[in-house]
Amino acid sequence: MSTNKSNTKTIDRSNFRNKKVYTSSKFFFKSHLIIILCVLLLPLWAFGSNDFDKALKLKISKIQEQFSPYLIYLKKGNSVYFSKNVALAPLSIIEESTKIIAVDSKLKIALLTVDKFLQAMEFKIPQENSDVFFLLTNNGFIKIFNVEGIKDGNFIKLKGTYSLGSLLISTDLEPLGIIVSTNEESSEVLLIKAVEKEIEKLINRKPGWLGIQAQTITEDLKRVLLSDYGVVITNIYQKGPADKVGLKRGDIIIEADNVTIKEVRDLQDLLSIKFSGEVITLKVIRNETKKEFTVTLEEPPELINPAEIKPPSIPGVEIIEIPKNFKESIKGVYINNISENSPALGILKKGDIIVELNRYGINNTQDFYEIISRSKGDLLILLYRQGNFQYVIIPAQKSR
């Protein structure tokens, strides 16, 4: 019995050992099968990875070749060539030296004139499910990023901070838009195709015209006009925008659209980004009283009829430069004609030379117009007539 028990145990052990061996063999076979499959598939996986890398490198190469010429490097970012030697740039990076065609604060862009003539890019709208893009930038060196974003109306919100003016490109290598704003966490791309018609309107709009001539208030003029800064209107174009709202010669513009106007260039810079149909609010000083005017700008006339331009003068008195054949060597302006209904008739004569006006020396007609435009009372005139100098006075009621 003991032997049988022993034999039974031995068989059991033998069966157990045999079972264990079989199990080990099965595991060994499975393990080796996985290894063999991995070894067989590894070259295929490696081949696919190389293909992916090659495709990516090819796309990056195409992006650089195709789109980098359209990127124009500015000090604070980039502008992107649009068409007709016009580039688009984020409004916040515009420099004083740039030639601005138009601005749109809603779209956060400015249109600039550039010295490039390229074939216009055909911008596209990304597909609704697009969330991965390429981004081309130039900070002195061309860089291409792979970025993630979400479409939001006419914009795409990108994760991360990138250079303003960078060009967003789809994975199919289609241009989409430019970065117009950025913060510490995200960047905002304007989709150009979505606003293309608005941009075309901006390009084709004519600049706004105010319809005045003006000069900066000099140190000498400060004492007379009683203003420390501003520009004084020397001429108003008849039926022009300024004339329609009641602006007058002698008005001193001190502010325009909440911008302080210290010299003529300040006003010119502001008008350079205004267009026909837009309004400009002017604060002026008239007779030591502050007034406010809202002017709707118009298209500048292609040709202004000289009859419509009325430079400041004495009614009925025609002033010209001294003729070259005038025998005397003298500075001033020449009275070329006096109409019969002029209030100065009998005081001034044709052929008189006006040498001084209100004790200011006159060298040319511009001097005459500027001085008379700020004169408020009687006119004290020093004349040169037939070899003699003499003072005459035109009373205020007759000089206007």
DSSP one-letter string for 219-258:
HHHHHHHT-SS-EEEEEE-TTSHHHHHT--TT-EEEEETT
Q: What are phi and psi of 224, to 5 degrees?
A: -80, -45
Contact between 206 and 299 under an 8 Å Cβ cutoff? The reply is yes
77: which residues sit within 8 A by CB, 6+ positions away? Answer: 89, 90, 93, 163, 164, 165, 166, 179
For the chain, what are the domain ranges? Answer: 2-66, 70-204, 212-296, 311-394
Question: Around Cβ 41, how many Cβ atoms within 10 Å?
Answer: 10
Give which of 193, 179, 202, 198 is closest to 92, Cα–Cα: 179
Question: Around Cβ 398, how many Cβ atoms within 10 Å?
Answer: 16
**Given this model, what pLDDT does residue 31 score?**
45
What is the token pair recorded at 28?
Answer: 């060994």
Query: Domain 70-204 is of which CATH architecture?
Result: Beta Barrel (2.40)
pTM above 0.95, yes or no: no
Contact between 173 and 62 under an 8 Å Cβ cutoff? The reply is yes
CATH class in words for 311-394: mainly beta
The fold adopted by the segment(s) 212-296 is Pdz3 Domain (2.30.42)
How far apart CA 160 and CA 185 sit, in angstroms, is 5
**Same fold: 212-296 with 311-394:** yes
**Given this model, what pLDDT does residue 33 score?**
42
Q: pLDDT per position in the chain (400 positions), as tens?
A: 444 433 333 233 333 333 333 333 444 444 444 444 444 444 444 445 677 678 888 999 999 999 999 999 888 899 999 988 899 999 888 875 567 877 888 899 989 888 888 899 999 999 888 899 999 998 778 899 999 999 999 999 999 999 999 999 999 999 999 999 999 999 999 999 999 999 988 888 777 899 998 888 877 777 777 888 999 888 888 889 999 999 998 899 999 999 999 988 889 888 877 888 889 999 999 988 999 999 999 988 765 554 445 566 788 888 899 888 887 788 899 999 998 888 888 899 999 999 998 888 888 887 888 788 777 778 889 999 988 899 998 887 554 4
Q: How many CA atoms are closer than 13 Å to the CA of 257, on its beta-carbon side?
A: 13
Contact between 372 and 385 under an 8 Å Cβ cutoff? The reply is no
Q: How far is CA 29 from the centre of its chain?
A: 74
Determine which helix (DSSP H) or strand (DSSP E) holds 291, and give its type and residue range.
strand 289-296
Contact between 189 and 156 under an 8 Å Cβ cutoff? The reply is yes
How far apart CA 314 and CA 354 sit, in angstroms, is 12
**Given this model, what pLDDT does residue 51 score?**
74
